[in-house]
Structure formats: structure tokens, C-alpha cells
Amino acid sequence: MSADRENHQMTDMTQTDIALLLADAADEVEIGTAPVQAVIRGGRRRRARRWAVATATAVVLAGSTGATLAVTGLPGGGHGDRQGNAATEPTSPAARHVYEPQETPLLRGRYKGTSWYVDVQVWGAPQNKAEADGQYAAMEELNMTPAVDKPTDLIGKTSFFVTRKFGDQAPQPIMFDSRTKPERVSGSDLLSASNPLDSTSGTWDQLVVGQVAETAREVTCTWKDGTTTKARSGPVVYEHNVPRPAIVSAAGYPGAKWFACVAPEGTAYKDAKVTR
């Protein structure tokens, strides 16, 4: 009977009662030095569990400082349960951009009277064979061939294509890759490729496209005639409806930013470096 009464009392507790109990318990918490080596040795298998523990600790500490304590995620807390379930539900292929990429413009302009543009396409990772087959077919329709041997090699991988379009020519990929985790660029590292703007002319490489660290503030492109062009991080600035070279983030691609520079007429690419 005593146990029944205790259970009944717990059932009748309000969320406010629970919050007060948690706050009282927080006053008795002693924070010591974190067992760093033990956490590291835990490896990936315990990572999700460590995150859950860290979240719970943060809630208790927030309570001990007098902050409002949210308990809607506890059993019976109403909306918290529905939000938690929604967060774990897999998103649709469309939401993950499996069959249609996210596109980010890098640069555009006119060269010898012909319009051109350069952009980045980022395709989300397929989760199974059916999605991989569909993505491969969608890429082929856009004249894009991913860096894999067969469609199923795309499973779990994010793909990107840097494409260039000159006049009436079909868009051409000039940089592309498929990775389980996009490579993170750091410090003054720079990954670049140079290409002619007009692939049919046989002219020198006037176009330079590359990746830099998210912290990079300036890239200097040097041309063979000794002149330079600078791409800077920040809002894109337009002159006569044409953007200046800029360092920008590509939608769907974490870990790096992108830039593009074009040489003046009569010269070509020599070098590109992070200068700030």
C-alpha cells in the first residue's frame, strides 16, 4: 500500500514540481575535472551517449544558476516527445537534395563579348541503391559524371561539381569529387584548378577556381603578365551588375569556402595564394 501511495504521488507531480526537484539536486552537484583520456578512449561507439550526458548536465547546471528549466522533453512532457521523434525521422531524398543539387554561383561576366558563369553544385548523399541509381541518372542528364566507378559507390557520399558555362556551350564540370565526408581545408591551404573560359578556343587558362579554409579572408590570383586579382571574403560586391571575385560558402558543402578569378584579356593563370 505504501508503494502504491508513492506511485500515485509521483503520477500527480506537475512539471513545476519536477523542475524544482532538479534545481534542488543541482545545488548538490560538484563539478570536477573531466576525465578527458577516458572520454577519448571511448571512441565513436560512445559518442552519441556522451552527447546525451552532456545535454543532461547542461540542463542541471542551468537550473543551479536560476535559469528557467525546460522539462518538456521528459516523459509526459507533451510537445517535447513529438519534437524528439521528428528529429530522428529520416528526411526525404528531395529534402536531402539527392536528385537535384543545391547550386551556388561563384562568378560571372563577359569575355570578348560572350557571357559566362561559374557555379558549384552539391548533391546530397544517397542512403541506398535505389537513391544512388536515381542520383547517377540525374547527374548524367546534366552531363555530370561523378568520381566513382558505379552508381552504388555514391551511397553515403556527398558529391560536388564546379561547372563553367561559356556562351551557348553546355555547362562543363571543371572540378568534382565524391566523398563520405567533405575534406576540411585549414590555415592557408588552397586547392585550385585552372581552365580556359572557352573550351573550344584552345586559348590559355584564364579561369581559376579553388577551395580555401572558412577562415580565409583574401585570395590573390597572379597572372603571367604580373597583374593580380583579389577575391575577398564577405558580401559579394557588384559593379555594373557583375560581381567582383569573392570567397563564398557553397550550400550543402561544409568545411571549406570557394573562390573564382578570371584573367584580363591577353594573359593567363600563374599562381593563386591565400594572402589574408
- Give the integer Cα–Cα distance in Å for 83 and 91: 14
Helix (H, G, I), strand (E, B) or coil at 158: strand
> Mean pLDDT of all residues in the chain?
73
User: What would the pLDDT profile of 2-11 be if each residue is shown by its tens digit?
Assistant: 444 444 444 4
- Residue, of 84 and 62, whose pLDDT is higher: 84
Residue appearing with cell numbers 543539387: 101
As a whole number, mean pLDDT of residues 214-231 equals 94
The per-residue pLDDT for 39 is: 31
User: What would the pLDDT profile of 194-219 be if each residue is shown by its tens digit?
Assistant: 888 887 776 778 899 999 999 999 99
The per-residue pLDDT for 252 is: 92
The per-residue pLDDT for 6 is: 46
User: What would the pLDDT profile of 130-185 be if each residue is shown by its tens digit?
Assistant: 999 999 999 999 989 998 999 999 999 999 999 999 998 888 898 899 999 887 88
User: What would the pLDDT profile of 68-103 be if each residue is shown by its tens digit?
Assistant: 223 222 233 344 444 444 455 558 999 999 999 999
44, 45, 47, 53: CA torsion to nearest 10:
-160
pTM for this model (two decimals): 0.64
Half-sphere exposure of 43 (CA within 13 A, CB side): 1
Alpha helices in the chain (DSSP H): 2-12, 15-27, 36-42, 47-64, 79-88, 129-141
Instruction: Map out the domains of the chain as residue ranges.
Output: 2-88, 102-274
Listed range (22-31, 100-109, 150-159, 233-242) with the worst mean pLDDT: 22-31
The grid coordinates of residue 119 equal: 557555379
